[in-house]
Amino acid sequence: MALRFSEHRMNYKKKVRTSDRVRAGVDTGGTFTDFVFAAGGELRIFKLASTPDDPSRAITEGLKRIAAETGSSLSEIEVVHGTTVGTNALLQRRGARIALVTTAGFEDVIEIGRQARPELYNLNAVKPSPLVPGELRLGVHERVAADGEVLESLRDDEVKRLVETLRRAGCESIAISLLFSFVRPQHEQKIAEALTTLGVPLSISHQILPEYREYERTSTVTVNAYLQPLMGRYLNRLVETAGEETGRVSASNQRPKVKVQRSAFGLRVMQSSGGSISAVAAANEPVRTILSGPAGGVVGALRACRAAGFENIITFDMGGTSTDVALCDRDGMRLTNEATVAGLPVAVPMMDIHTVGAGGGSIARVDEGGSLRVGPESAGADPGPASYGRSLLPTVTDAHVVLGHFPGAGLLGGEFKLDEARARAALNKLAAEMSAAARRMVRMIEAAHGVLDVVNTNMERALRHVSVERGNDPREFTLVPFGGAGGLHVVDLAWALRIPRILVPASPGALSANGVLTADVVKDQSRTVMLDARHGVESKLARIFDEIEKQAGGDLRREGLAENKQRHERSLAVRYKGQSFELQIKQTNGNIAGAFHRAHRARYGYAQENNVVEIVSARVRSIGMVEKLKIQRFKSSTSKSFVKPVDFAETFFERRRIRAGIYRREEIMAGSRLRVPCIVTEYSATTLIPEGCKARVDTLGNIIICV
């Protein structure tokens, strides 16, 4: 069924009853929670104010609205959710009280870390404190060598002592990470079996990350344990929205099931790697959901651009609190196993997304040195920007309001009215502070332009980080803005980086929710092998890959995906022997060394073909393919003529007061060209297109801007 995007204001009088199970995508942001659902042959969207104290409240309200619109019950809705619960818990350090069990002598690995300083020239740099306090880092006397030989066996009395110590400690969750457990996991299994009597969730390293590098592995496992109780409680609140018909999600080391009674609604959660997993899997391995929301945006942007014929893209997701950017080329999304979140290494596969604290709600202020700063602090949804009517905080949104960038001074198709007077008051107050610091008169309009200049500089730096700093020429890419505020800044950023094209997708303000809805179910698994890439290694690798795929296939079948809906992608992490880090290559048989030499030369400009090539890890990305919602192609206008704006408004573009045309996006036909300068308004976002640009609408409803 081909589906057309509809930016929809909910209508309870006219219900759209569908015989199929309703599918909904939900993305929780710092300011708004976005909903996308299929009904009546259309993909519809709406937004609600987020509830930061308990994100599930906004989601519950939205699901009830979807049920009313579609004539369904909550139990008939299948939900895919992009969540910030894990991210916020790490940033705000409000996770569980956890303990770490490790090999004696290695209790302080997560505090010692690596020799690299977080800031090279700052002698007083402070590293984030470990998630586990010293008194709860417990060592057990056991030892396994790198080749799997047991150097010291784990004694029963040692395990009994450990259980009693942890029973008295009163922990909410426990992480277990023994040295070289990925080679011989029996000691971890024995400890885990004994600790199940405590009735708390367990995070076990050989299950979550069976790879070498004890610091990164232990850090990843402790992050998982830190988030398990919080994520479990949160997902249970969501599942329970279906009332008495639903069951509960529990998190433990025993791969628990959701104990679901009749007709509970389905719930999947977006992973940081670009695929979704069941609520049970997310409750047990929340470390895989840390970049859940931003990953959905990249999936949605890549899908929209591939359909439009674009390969090399830079995604630019600007919401109310932060901006997330990522680079995708013809090979698709870029993943990394070397991410750092809140100063902590997380070694599970994640999208290579760079985040900065710059959004529509970012607060502007004058610092102690008299300089204008914008963010990373955000007004969020509560109290929100000054124009939301509940504060006098000057934000990026308020700067746009006073510059006339919101015709009619409203958001969400006029449902959300903006308080212009309060926005002007907030910017006047900021201008007074700037005047005192600069010892000259700074007027409100100048202050508003200054706010946009600063936030644009912050976002430009992020875009350069994922492109220029990594050897990619921005002039060879298309910039894809989405999120509620992306279209307000995209042309300025394209000019700054000399990016020639911009693609503004349909309903950009809800693209992340659309991405999580269309994402496949994904299981990422790996195993450290440490093999030289010589002739004959293929048979060993084949056996290892078969074992991994067999396990992943079973996991996907348990989530309802038959074998004909599964696809397994193999890859290898390879390096020159003696190197500290690896490159990932997709060639898993034949001349593996030659493939690595080519990859190394492409990345670093040289290859050492006489050196021994070492295969560090075998990795499998197992994909369960879900049914895709097709986007309808529109018939192009034959005239290719310019469309007349529906109205005009006095506004500021490039520090000049001009008369700009106003377009309503839902009224622009495919094939049309827009007269610039103009403001394109729609339910989920606003796009500014200044003079010097050319803008047209393609057959998928995307706005293509040439700058």
Per-residue pLDDT, 667: 87
Collapsing DSSP to helix, strand or coil, 1 comes out as: coil
- pLDDT at position 257 is 38
Q: What's the confidence (pLDDT) of residue 432? A: 95
Q: Is the peptide bond before 385 cis (omega within 30 degrees of 0)?
A: no
Q: What is the pLDDT of residue 90?
A: 86
Q: Which residues contact 124 (CB under 8 A, 6 or more apart)?
A: none
Lookup result for tokens 């495919």: 670
Written as one letter, the residue type at 56 is S
Query: Taking the alpha carbons of 281, 286, 289, 293 in that order, is the dihedral positive or negative?
Result: positive
Q: How far is CA 344 from the centre of its chain?
A: 17
Q: If we measure between CA atoms, which residue out of 318, 577, 589 comes closest to residue 456?
A: 318
| Contact between 246 and 189 (Cβ < 8 Å) | no
Segments of the chain scoring below 50 in pLDDT: 1-14, 16-19, 243-247, 252-264
Location of structure tokens 């995007």: 5
Token code pair at residue 639: 């005239």
Strand, coil or helix: 615: strand
Whole-angstrom CA distances from 345 to 11, 108, 182, 544, 649 are 46, 15, 19, 27, 49
Contact 3, 632 (CB under 8 A): yes
- Domains with residue ranges and CATH for the chain: 2-90+235-289 (3.30.420.40), 93-228 (3.40.50), 520-625 (3.30.1490)
Q: Where are the alpha helices (DSSP H) in 379-523?
A: 396-402, 420-438, 444-466, 486-497, 511-518
Structure tokens at 643: 């469309």
pLDDT at res. 688 = 95
Q: Which of 572, 618, 528, 523 is nearest to 214 (CA)?
A: 528
Integer Cα distance of 522 and 379 in angstroms: 35
Q: Which amino acid is at 306?
A: R
Residues 6+ apart with CB under 8 A from 552: 523, 525, 568, 620, 622
Q: Kindly report the backbone phi and psi dihedral angles of residue 28, in degrees, each rounded to the nearest multiple of 5, phi listed first.
A: -90, 120
Beta bridge partners of residue 325, listed in sequence order:
316, 354
Give the residue from 316, 242, 314 showing the smallest Cα distance to 279: 242
Tokens 């949605």 -> residue: 300
Q: What is the dihedral sign for C-alpha 104, 105, 111, 113?
A: negative
Which three-class secondary structure state does DSSP give residue 36?
A: strand
Q: What is the pLDDT of residues 606-633, one digit of tens each?
A: 999 999 999 999 999 999 998 777 766 6
Measured distance CA(678)–CA(701) in Å, rounded: 17
Q: List all residues 6 or more positions away from 588 whose beta carbon is below 8 Å from its beta carbon.
A: 538, 541, 545, 570, 571, 572, 618
Say what the pLDDT of residue 429 is. Answer: 95
Distance CA 490, CA 500 (A): 12
In a 13 Å sphere around the CA of 178, the CA atoms on its Cβ side amount to 28
CA angle 127/232/355 to nearest 5° reads: 40
Are 631 and 307 in contact by the 8 Å Cβ rule? The answer is: yes
Euclidean distance between CA atoms 385 and 394, whole angstroms: 7
Q: How far apart are CA 473 and CA 475, in angstroms?
A: 5
**CA dihedral sign, ordered 299, 300, 304, 307:** positive
What's the whole-model pTM score?
A: 0.86
**Contacts with 558 (C-beta within 8 Å, 6 or more apart), sequence order:** none
Amino acid at 361: G
Q: What are phi and psi of 193, to 5 degrees?
A: -60, -40
Counting other chains too, the contacts that 216-219 makes at CB distance below 8 Å and 24 or more residues apart are: 216/345, 216/347, 217/177, 217/182, 217/347, 218/100, 218/102, 218/106, 218/109, 218/110, 218/175, 218/177, 219/110, 219/344, 219/345, 219/346, 219/347
pLDDT the model gives residue 639: 58
Closest listed residue to residue 168, CA positions, set 133, 203, 135: 135
Report whether 619 contacts 570 (CB < 8 A).
Answer: yes
Q: Tell me the sheet residues that pair with 43.
A: 5, 38
Token digits of residue 600: 């190394």
SS3 at position 70: helix
Specify the DSSP class assigned to residue 575: E
How far is the C-alpha of 248 from the C-alpha of 612, rounded, in Å?
51
The residues that bridge with 7 in the sheet, in sequence order, are: 45
Instruction: Please name which of 229, 227, 249 lies closest in space to residue 238, comparing C-alpha atoms.
Output: 249
Q: What's the token pair of residue 507?
A: 């309903």
Please say whether the beta carbons of 181 and 207 come within 8 A: no
DSSP 8-state symbol, 71: T
Distance separating alpha carbons of residues 427 and 177, to the nearest angstrom: 52
Signed CA dihedral, 398, 403, 407, 409: sign only:
positive
Cβ(190)–Cβ(140) below 8 Å:
no
Partners of 203 in beta bridges? 175
Least Cα distance to 396 among 484, 463, 294 occurs for: 484
Task: Judge contact between 490 and 695, C-beta under 8 A.
Answer: no
Residues 35, 47: contact at Cβ < 8 Å? yes
In this structure, what DSSP letter does residue 265 have? P
| Contact call for residues 81 and 26 (beta carbons, < 8 A) | yes
Summarised one tens digit per residue, pLDDT across range 329-366 is 888 888 888 888 888 999 999 999 998 888 899 999 99
